[in-house]
Structure 1
């Protein structure tokens, strides 16, 4: 019998559209001879629903959007869990939800309670990697270099804006970047060169999250590494996007058709292996399993800084993660998805040996 594969996409997140783009590509690559595939769409309001009929041929973003029968999330989730996900047989879940309410450990916690295997990171690693402020503390504890930063909660800003501005200017300076703590795809991020821009950037970030980070700008190149695996993870050859944007924002990442990938990135002797080693160290420090993309800055002086870890990197045709593996060891897109499913099943089997009674 084929394994039942439940593909979750959409989500209550500002990265909803990114998830849809990922889902189109992933669903179109799956082997229906091996998997019985059930797409599960999560609306912007958090309701779960499945297409009554679906085909993986000629998929579009529009065809993946479904109107829910129940607009109450609890009722809709209950229908999915007691319906298609309760069918007997081997099953595995493939979450493709970027950002909040999906990449942050919330969905992973539900799947743990259901005791079903799922692709990607567990509850703790998902929460840590999405929260940039917490992730930076983990990196500092692991002794991995990163740029100077300042974390701030909304209540601190509301209570004493002047003190925060002075602290940011004294410890970080300009130019700096303001980022919502728990978002990806460069959404809500501002590059600030003076106090006016800093105030506007802080307000923008707080519209997406109740916590933010302010980081010193590292002028140079952004190098990415794909990591895969559970207990013995592997790192790909590093890659980078070649572009002329001062700030690589959401529009630059997803709308600029001139972007070019350089894989492997042209790096000085010895630096490629060092980056791969550091990527695995950061991956393990966060307790990651399954997959993650680790991003570095290489500044003009040759100093290397770890920027962030993305626990659910994009899987569109323009995404770096799958292409890095194809150019590292020849793994095709569909083979990569099946490897990730294999890691999920293996991790789940290992967890079944844990004892919950004396």
Structure 2
């Protein structure tokens, strides 16, 4: 059987650029070389596309950029692949499928998925709408609420409001949500730009930090809760993993705790929960996945107030972190699917979805 060419796309222009480099390095190393020829495609923080043919380990360090060849991904169904420009020569590199390992805006938010739709090429990700909704914490919460999923109380403010009338915003937050509260950019992941505010000065700082990353800022009430995550994959008949629990090294599961705390954050798999509570989490995870019409894969994050036996959905990530230490693959590993098997499964699901929707 002729091998297919898979383009793994990493980097990107979001605040999660470095996370993408770590995730993609892990994925590239385990893709089945008997089935696929891997084409490594990087996007710099400036938005330049580069074809990379060097050592995989140089991706994580950022050294790949020095060796990349200038490239272009045409939005043209007659050119499914990459065009490179080097030494005055133009060369076409055909692709059968793409695997975007891009976290955050311009990668996980439906934008690059739209490019793949125009190019009519299979891709390992949810579609345009689902990706956009999963990335936008405000609109995903509205849909979760509409679907009957439990959510915490929240408010959304525009960057302009924060700049012009922060005093009014503070009064609204103190009246309706209280302290402590969480402040987040509406469109970002990996806890980039997220702060926990315990008082008015910290709230002012948190609003200003979050508004640097997005034009809208989400403020959520604090609930005393355990952090529970589940992995989902599938198209029409999605499957859900066992739940895992996060015990962060910092006060909450922030960017440093997720990726740079030297292993101090604990991932407990499976989460110590009763069978009945596990079943509730799994049902809610599948409900959330379907509420956003997701496909291929996603990770669903929850809060669990054990004293009141209340579950709240936090968010859904359509391209979650994918290093060997990340919760998404580790949950499937504990459920009985190894990291390499999982990658193969996701690629198969992308081809399956493409066949279903192509015209």
Query: In the alignment, which residue of structure 1 is the partner of 2:294?
Result: 288
Hey, what's the Cα distance between the residues in 1 that align with 2:356 and 2:259? 38
**Counterparts in 2 of 1:267 and 1:85: CA distance versus 1, 3 Å:** farther
Query: In the alignment, which residue of structure 2 is the partner of 1:327?
Result: 334
User: How much has 1:87 moved relative to structure 2?
Assistant: 4.5
User: How much has 1:63 moved relative to structure 2?
Assistant: 6.5
Query: In the alignment, which residue of structure 1 is the partner of 2:324?
Result: 317
TM-score by length of 1: 0.91
Partners of 1:41 and 1:64 within 8 A in 2: no
Hey, what's the Cα distance between the residues in 2 that align with 1:5 and 1:69? 18
Measured against aligned partners, the alpha-carbon deviations of 1:259-295 in whole angstroms (never above 9, x if no partner) come to 3321111113401011000000001000110111000
Query: In the alignment, which residue of structure 2 is the partner of 1:65?
Result: 64
Give the secondary structure class of the aligned counterpart of 2:54: coil
Hey, what's the Cα distance between the residues in 1 that align with 2:175 and 2:62? 51
Judge which range, 12-21 or 293-302, deviates more.
293-302
Query: In the alignment, which residue of structure 2 is the partner of 1:215?
Result: 220
Matched, 1:254 2:262: no
Hey, what's the Cα distance between the residues in 1 that align with 2:205 and 2:164? 17
User: How much has 1:219 moved relative to structure 2?
Assistant: 1.1
Give the secondary structure class of the aligned counterpart of 1:287: coil
User: How much has 1:252 moved relative to structure 2?
Assistant: 1.0
Query: In the alignment, which residue of structure 2 is the partner of 1:3?
Result: 4
Root-mean-square deviation (CA, aligned residues, Å) is 2.0
User: How much has 1:249 moved relative to structure 2?
Assistant: 1.0
Structure 1: unaligned runs, 5 residues or longer: none
Give the secondary structure class of the aligned counterpart of 2:283: helix
1:1-358 to structure 2, matched below 5 A, reads 1-51=2-52, 53-54=53-54, 61-62=60-61, 65-67=64-66, 70=70, 76-78=72-74, 81-83=82-84, 87=93, 91-256=96-261, 257-299=263-305, 300-328=307-335, 330-352=336-358, 354=359
**Counterparts in 2 of 1:211 and 1:63: CA distance versus 1, 3 Å:** closer
Hey, what's the Cα distance between the residues in 2 that align with 1:210 and 1:65? 32
Partners of 1:47 and 1:77 within 8 A in 2: no
Hey, what's the Cα distance between the residues in 1 that align with 2:91 and 2:348? 19
Give the secondary structure class of the aligned counterpart of 1:50: strand
Hey, what's the Cα distance between the residues in 2 that align with 1:30 and 1:109? 25
Structure 2: unaligned runs, 5 residues or longer: 85-89
Give the secondary structure class of the aligned counterpart of 2:233: strand
Structure ranking higher in strand proportion:
2
Partners of 1:188 and 1:208 within 8 A in 2: yes
Give the secondary structure class of the aligned counterpart of 1:318: coil
User: How much has 1:318 moved relative to structure 2?
Assistant: 1.4
Partners of 1:28 and 1:59 within 8 A in 2: no
Hey, what's the Cα distance between the residues in 2 that align with 1:138 and 1:243? 28
Hey, what's the Cα distance between the residues in 2 that align with 1:316 and 1:271? 28
TM-score by length of 2: 0.91
May I ask how many residue pairs the two structures share in their alignment?
345
Give the secondary structure class of the aligned counterpart of 2:65: coil
